[in-house]
């Protein structure tokens, strides 16, 4: 390769120097490959695994494998790597910034809980430059470890937890895995949900269509999934019965409440993925323009033993739908 070709290949790239990183308690517990992917922005994963295999990544002067978990006090050597210099990303708009700042329900030194507005994705991707987490990282550069604790669908509003420290993220993930965090949703479903129906227990299987769209179905080969239900209010409008229910997922599967409602025979109104179009169209005259699913409450115990209950008020657009139906 001549000099001109070499210069052309390196255009748009910069070379870092060797880095020696002291791992603290906040970063301890992470796999070394995941940690490197996070700090080496712009470096392909294949290159990260290559430098690990070649022994260029060292922990306490020793070679490690990709699944090595970093420990508090480790000294990590990161070799020089070429990082593609991408065009600067668009910054989040003032509207989304203000919405998220106004949506904070709770904050301490380790945790933020927001009442996520509908229509805002929790993270970027698939043509979305900025979601909740990217926006918070942009406006809070001093919080270097902001991470989503869990996710909500883009059209679902309500309680969303963001960890400000790795230790809190690890703690809450364990709590979620052990079903020690109560997440309560409000959903408006088509039909008269019977009071005796308090549990839907059906395994869920996640599929990806050719278009890239994710669809979830009830399938015996799927993961065990349970959702508890309670009737909050029943309505009769346009000669049809609808029910406002409280849904508490015991497990945390993708689209769990939406698919369990459909499986029970009471699809959530406004759901353009699982509810028939003709059902959604009939309720647009009541002002329903999006999925009627809201993460209304969180109950958890903080690491210091303090019990925490957070309520997220039903958004104005959904309240107006209920008032229109009541009237």
Residue 62 CA to residue 37 CA, distance in Å, equals 20
Please give the average per-residue pLDDT across 80-88, as a whole number. 63
Task: Assign domain 182-326 to its CATH architecture.
Answer: 2-Layer Sandwich (3.30)
- CB neighbours of 113 closer than 8 A, spacing ≥ 6? 104, 105, 106, 107, 159, 160, 161, 162, 298, 310
In the predicted model, is pLDDT for residue 9 greater than 80?
no
- Give per-residue pLDDT as tens, 185-227: 999 999 999 999 999 999 999 887 766 678 899 999 999 999 9
**Alpha-carbon separation of residue 158 from 2, 49, 185, 321 (angstroms):** 58, 38, 8, 17
Question: Which residue out of 27, 33, 74, 153 is catalytically annotated?
Answer: 153
Name the burial class of residue 304, with classes exposed (0-12), middle (13-18) and buried (19+) by CB atoms within 10 angstroms of its CB: exposed
Tell me, yes or no, if the two domains 94-163 and 182-326 fold the same way: no
Query: What is the share, in percent, of the chain residues with pLDDT greater than 70?
Result: 90
- Give per-residue pLDDT as tens, 91-108: 777 888 888 999 999 999
C-beta of residue 161 within 8 angstroms of C-beta of residue 246: no
In the predicted model, is pLDDT for residue 8 greater than 80?
no
Q: Is this prediction's pTM over 0.75? A: yes
Please give the average per-residue pLDDT across 39-46, as a whole number. 80
Quickly name the fold that domain 94-163 has.
Answer: Alpha-Beta Plaits (3.30.70)
153 in catalytic set: yes
- Give per-residue pLDDT as tens, 132-171: 998 998 888 888 788 999 999 999 999 999 999 988 999 9
**DSSP secondary structure letter of residue 196:** T
In the predicted model, is pLDDT for residue 90 greater than 70?
no
Structural domain boundaries of the chain?
Answer: 15-84, 94-163, 182-326
- CB neighbours of 52 closer than 8 A, spacing ≥ 6? 32, 33, 36, 64, 65, 66
Residue 111 CA to residue 207 CA, distance in Å, equals 32
Task: Give residue 127's pLDDT.
Answer: 60
Task: Give residue 2's pLDDT.
Answer: 46
Quickly name the fold that domain 15-84 has.
Answer: 3.10.290
């Amino acid at each position: 390769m001549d000099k001109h070709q070499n210069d052309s290949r390196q255009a748009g790239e910069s070379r870092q120097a060797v880095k020696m990183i002291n791992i603290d308690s906040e970063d301890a517990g992470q796999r070394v490959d995941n940690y490197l992917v996070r700090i080496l922005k712009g470096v392909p994963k294949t290159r990260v695994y290559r430098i690990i295999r070649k022994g260029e990544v060292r922990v306490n002067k020793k070679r490690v494998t990709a699944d090595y978990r970093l420990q508090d006090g480790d000294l990590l050597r990161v070799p020089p790597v070429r990082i593609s210099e991408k065009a600067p990303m668009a910054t989040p708009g003032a509207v989304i910034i203000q919405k998220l700042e106004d949506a904070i329900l709770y904050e301490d030194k380790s945790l933020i809980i927001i009442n996520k507005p509908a229509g805002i994705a929790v993270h970027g991707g698939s043509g979305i430059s900025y979601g909740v987490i990217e926006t918070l990282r942009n406006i809070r550069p001093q919080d270097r470890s902001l991470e989503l604790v869990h996710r909500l669908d883009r059209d679902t509003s309500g309680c969303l937890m963001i960890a400000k420290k790795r230790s809190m993220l690890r703690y809450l993930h364990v709590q979620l895995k052990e079903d020690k965090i109560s997440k309560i949703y409000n959903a408006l479903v088509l039909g008269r949900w019977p009071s005796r129906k308090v549990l839907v227990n059906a395994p869920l299987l996640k599929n990806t269509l050719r278009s890239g769209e994710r669809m979830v179905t009830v399938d015996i080969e799927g993961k065990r999934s349970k959702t508890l239900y309670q009737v909050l209010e029943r309505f009769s409008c346009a000669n049809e019965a609808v029910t406002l229910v409280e849904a508490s997922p015991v497990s945390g599967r993708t689209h769990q409440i939406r698919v369990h409602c459909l499986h029970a025979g009471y699809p959530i109104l406004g759901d353009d993925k699982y509810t028939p179009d003709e059902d959604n169209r009939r309720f647009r005259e009541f002002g329903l323009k999006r999925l009627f699913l809201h993460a209304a409450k969180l109950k958890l115990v903080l690491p210091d033993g303090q019990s925490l209950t957070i309520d997220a008020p039903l958004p104005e657009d959904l309240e107006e739908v209920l008032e229109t139906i009541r009237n």
